[in-house]
């Protein structure tokens, strides 16, 4: 990855982008393409956060989603979401033809091994919106399935090679953390930026008093094993049963994903994947393991647009529900149009100020109240929730909003913005 300097001066720009993951970089790339003046700042190195942990499936197949979108947003809303994400697959294909990033055309499969009723409903929804998908009765997996849906001509790539290339000529400052802002002026450790408009692309939005994002989002953590000598499985797969196993190849490695659960709760983790690897790939060796987490919205749609109704000129992009590859690309297009005052068919669907009365809101509220009242230490500096010890990853995890800290209290994942303070907590207490 190209190294970029730290901001050490006072500058001005039309648009400030805060956050150097795939969301922020694609937004900067799109603004440059449109001739809009911008600056991107990243507190660490670009792509050093959640983007570095993706399995990088470029697909409009987003799990059992379209049946839900039909009920929540109607046929046209579900169709608009599908078309936008399918178009994003094509944009990646076109861009990657000029970039050495291992792009491969792959079919994407959704499958189940138990009662296929939910998969039947999803197939019906896909037919209603005119999606290019087909039903299958079998798959080349090491276990039988009761049904599957195939999305043809999707893709996969190496995200850091892709982003490393497109970021080379962008205006970026690394190790430049926004400390505070006053109106349109943003202060960093060694400089300041005056911006007419701002896009917050920090994974989980960094300001709590606007937009109600601590209520509208939670984070879900997923795990991956890189298996050698597991054999080749063509295509990309996602299971809809309890284990929700995911498969895709990367060179000679089989990436086996799953074990997910709300950050701070007891999920399957790597233990689930290790059992599956022993059962289905007994000759394979575990060469790599990692985890990442995603912001989950209340209704399956991401939040892209004005941060809150009262804050004109301040925009946000978050809540891709584990589908950040195509989600980030479509978000960049939406933000580009919004910043130019143009209409976009997704703007209303993605609007952060849309209806929040969804069942998930009650779950988020209950989790927050319980963990705020739970008399345990240490506590998250974000909003004060009691942290839980993650024995698999040796970290303190927040079950409210997904902040994570090392055993010594060092910040690992936001929305918290700083380390735990040893003075008011006992970090050696494992609870």
Mean pLDDT, rounded, for 142-153: 96
The predicted pLDDT at position 183 comes to: 80
CA distance 415 to 23: 16
Where in the chain is CATH 3.30.9.10? 104-155+217-296
Mean pLDDT for the chain overall: 94
pLDDT beyond 50 at 424? no
Is the pLDDT assigned to residue 267 strictly greater than 80? no
CA dist., res. 431 & res. 428, Å (int):
10
Residue pair 300/59 in contact (Cβ under 8 Å)? The answer is no
Is the pLDDT at 10 greater than 60? The verdict is: yes
Q: Beta strands 314-318 and 253-262: pairing type?
A: unpaired
Q: Is a pLDDT exceeding 60 seen at residue 427?
A: no
Whether 309 has a pLDDT exceeding 50, the answer reads yes
All CATH 3.50.50.60 domain ranges of the chain, comma separated, are 10-54+161-215+299-350
- Cα 255 → chain centroid: 18
Q: What is the mean pLDDT of residues 366-391?
A: 91
- Is the pLDDT at 371 greater than 80, yes or no? yes
Q: Which of these, 331, 329, 330, lies nearest to 317 by C-alpha position?
A: 331
Summarised one tens digit per residue, pLDDT across range 181-196 is 888 999 999 999 999 9
With a pLDDT cut of 70, the percent of the chain lying above it is 98
pLDDT in tens, 49-85: 889 899 999 999 999 999 999 999 999 999 999 999 9
Alpha-helical runs (H) found in 152-211? 159-166
Q: Average pLDDT, stretch 152-160?
A: 96
Q: How confident is the model at residue 339 (pLDDT cuts 50, 70, 90)?
A: very high
CA pair distance 79, 163, nearest whole angstrom = 29
Q: Residue 431: what pLDDT?
A: 37
- Position 317 confidence tier, pLDDT thresholds 50, 70, 90: very high
pLDDT at 208 over 90: no
Q: Which two tokens stand for residue 359?
A: 């069942």
- Rounded mean pLDDT, 83-106: 96
The answer, yes or no, to whether residue 132 has pLDDT greater than 50, is: yes
pLDDT, average across residues 394-421: 93
- 10-54+161-215+299-350 folds as FAD/NAD(P)-binding domain (3.50.50)
Q: For 11-22, what is the mean pLDDT? A: 97
What predicted TM-score, i.e. pTM, was given to this entire model?
Answer: 0.94
CATH of segment(s) 359-424: 2.102.10.10
Predicted pLDDT at 429: 45
Q: Is the pLDDT of residue 428 over 60?
A: no
Angle between helices 66-96 and 117-128 (to 10 degrees): 70
Q: Taking 80 as the threshold, does the pLDDT of residue 430 lie above it? A: no
Residues 293, 219: contact at Cβ < 8 Å?
A: yes
Give the mean model confidence (pLDDT) for residues 331-340.
Answer: 97
pLDDT interval class at 209 (50, 70, 90): confident
Region(s) of the chain under CATH 2.102.10.10: 359-424
How are beta strands 38-41 and 172-173 bridged, if at all? parallel
Q: What is the Cα–Cα distance from 209 to 202, expressed in whole angstroms?
A: 16
What does the pLDDT read at residue 422?
73
Instruction: Give the helix, strand, coil percentages of the chain, each rounded to 5.
Output: 30, 30, 45
Q: Determine the straight-line distance between the first and last CA of the chain, rounded to whole angstroms.
A: 39
Cα gap 82→232, rounded to integer Å: 29
Burial 256-292 (b: 16+ CB within 10 A, else e): bbbbbebbbeebbbbebbbebbeebbeebebeebbbb
Mean pLDDT calculated for residue range 88-99: 96
Assign domain 104-155+217-296 to a CATH class.
alpha beta
Average pLDDT in the 365-374 region?
91
Q: How many residues appear in the chain?
A: 431
Confidence check: pLDDT of 343 > 70: yes
Per-residue pLDDT, 423: 58
Distance between CA atoms of residues 50 and 375, nearest Å: 30
pLDDT in the model for residue 21 = 96
d(CA 182, CA 130): 48
């Amino acid at each position: 990855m190209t190294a970029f300097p730290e901001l050490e001066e006072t500058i001005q720009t039309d648009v400030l982008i805060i956050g150097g993951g795939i969301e922020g970089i694609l937004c900067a790339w799109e603004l440059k393409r449109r001739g809009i003046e911008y600056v991107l700042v990243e507190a660490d190195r670009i792509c050093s956060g959640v983007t570095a942990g993706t399995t990088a499936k470029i697909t409009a197949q987003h799990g059992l989603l379209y049946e839900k979108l039909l009920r929540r947003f109607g046929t046209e809303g579900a169709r608009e979401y599908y078309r936008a994400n399918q178009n994003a697959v094509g944009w990646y294909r076109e861009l990657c033809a000029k970039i050495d990033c291992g792009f491969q055309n792959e079919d994407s499969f959704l499958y189940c091994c138990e009662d296929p009723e939910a998969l039947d409903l999803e197939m019906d929804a896909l037919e209603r919106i005119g999606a290019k998908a087909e039903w299958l009765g079998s798959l080349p997996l090491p276990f039988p399935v009761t049904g599957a849906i195939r999305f043809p001509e999707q893709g996969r790539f190496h995200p850091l090679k892709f982003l490393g290339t497109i970021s080379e000529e962008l205006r970026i400052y690394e190790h430049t953390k926004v400390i505070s802002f006053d109106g349109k002026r943003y202060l960093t450790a060694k400089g300041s930026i005056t911006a007419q408009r701002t896009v917050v692309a920090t994974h989980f939005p960094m300001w709590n008093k606007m937009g109600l994002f601590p209520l509208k989002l939670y984070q879900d953590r997923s795990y991956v094993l890189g298996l050698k000598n597991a054999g080749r499985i063509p295509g990309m797969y996602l299971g809809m049963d309890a284990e929700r196993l995911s498969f895709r190849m990367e060179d000679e490695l089989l990436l086996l994903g799953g074990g997910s659960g709300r950050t701070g709760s007891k999920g399957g983790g790597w233990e689930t994947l290790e059992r599956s690897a022993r059962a289905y790939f007994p000759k394979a060796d575990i060469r790599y393991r990692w985890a990442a987490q995603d912001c989950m919205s209340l209704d399956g749609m991401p939040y892209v647009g004005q941060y809150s109704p009262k804050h004109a000129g301040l925009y946000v992009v978050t809540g891709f529900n584990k589908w950040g590859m195509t989600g980030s690309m479509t978000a960049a297009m939406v933000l580009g149009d919004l910043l130019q005052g143009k209409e976009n068919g997704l703007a209303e669907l993605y609007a952060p100020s849309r209806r929040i009365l969804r069942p998930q809101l009650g779950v988020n509220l209950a989790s927050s109240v319980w963990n705020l009242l739970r008399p345990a230490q240490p506590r998250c500096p974000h909003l004060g929730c009691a942290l839980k010890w993650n024995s698999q990853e040796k970290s303190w995890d927040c079950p409210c909003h997904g902040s994570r800290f090392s055993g010594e209290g060092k910040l690992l994942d936001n929305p918290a913005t700083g380390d735990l303070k040893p003075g008011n907590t006992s970090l050696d207490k494992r609870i």
